[in-house]
Amino acid sequence: MKFSAHHERFELARPFVIARGSRTHQDVVVATVEIGDRSGSAECTPYARYGESIDSVIEQIEHFNLQLKQHSVLSPGWVHQQLVPQLPAGAARNAIDCALWRLNAQASFPAPLFEIKPQIVTALTVSIDTPVNMAQQARELSRQGAKLLKVKLDAENVIERVAAVRKQAPKCEIILDANEAWEALALPELFQALTRYDIRMIEQPVPAGKDNLLKGIPHPISLCADESCHTSDDIAGMIGCYEMVNIKLDKTGGLTEAIKLADQARKQGLEIMVGCMVGTSLAMEAALPVASQADLVDLDGPVLLKKDRENGLVYKNGLLVAREQFR
């Protein structure tokens, strides 16, 4: 058995702007595991917010490959269950874990490993811009059949931007993503003011590590943890601060931990959202087993790209149309 990894770059359809900055392209790492005549590939997106880079993730995967050479007899199952969990949660482990899931899926064919919904409502993203331009984005997405919009925000002109989006997308469900930017705002007043726009959920209003700022604050709109919740070990700290957690495979370190996190969150009475970093269909497909059971789904990464991979997922009328995966 051996792993390899390489870097790929995808141009974005338009500049993507969130509270932490903007970009015009997305860099990803693809890991491939090979054993005999079988192989499995998976994609991850290194994230600077978590101290990752393309080089650091490729180095982690290459180091893992060197570790494998220290073992004389390896089975995919043993590697998956014993060695992969020893890696730190993050993009590199995600690529390794999901590559092994794909390899296992080939061995199990034609029996499916997971039940995947054939159609899943996914959020489509409105990135930060002027209220007028955000309204135009919302109008375009609504005309394309969007059912759920994810509105990116910073600390500026929050109400104006949300009002502009809501006016142009009156029938869409809306979630807001502050990306940790609202710590200095008067949150009780802001949460109350946003209720008039029929908002389904607000994601990560305060910086990770400062979640206790949310305790005791009235919030008629549900709050969702993103940057604050990476793995099942983080669940205890979310109680009393959030009603939902956003599960991303690049945070959990793969599908294995994502399934565990979803299970632990449900047991604590939290709702589940499945999100993504910007990436191609290869990355989105790996999240479908948990997305098929989620309350909210945000897997629109390929929609943000100028060009997806060949034979990618189909996005139509606000739906992610999934082929059966992991077969």
State yes or no: 233 annotated in a binding site: no
Amino acid at 12: L
Axis-axis angle for helices 158-168, 187-194 (nearest 10):
10
Amino acid at 312: G
State yes or no: 203 annotated in a binding site: yes
Return the closest-CA partner of residue 194 out of 172, 232, 166.
166
Residues labelled catalytic? 152, 248
Return the closest-CA partner of residue 54 out of 44, 67, 64, 63.
44
Return the closest-CA partner of residue 60 out of 253, 301, 277.
253
Amino acid at 266: R
- Phi, psi dihedrals of residue 78, rounded to the nearest 5°: -65, -45
Return the closest-CA partner of residue 276 out of 132, 88, 122, 55.
122
State yes or no: 177 annotated in a binding site: yes
Return the closest-CA partner of residue 31 out of 11, 59, 50.
59
What residues form the annotated binding site? Answer: 177, 203, 226
What residues form the annotated binding site for Mg(2+)? Answer: 177, 203, 226
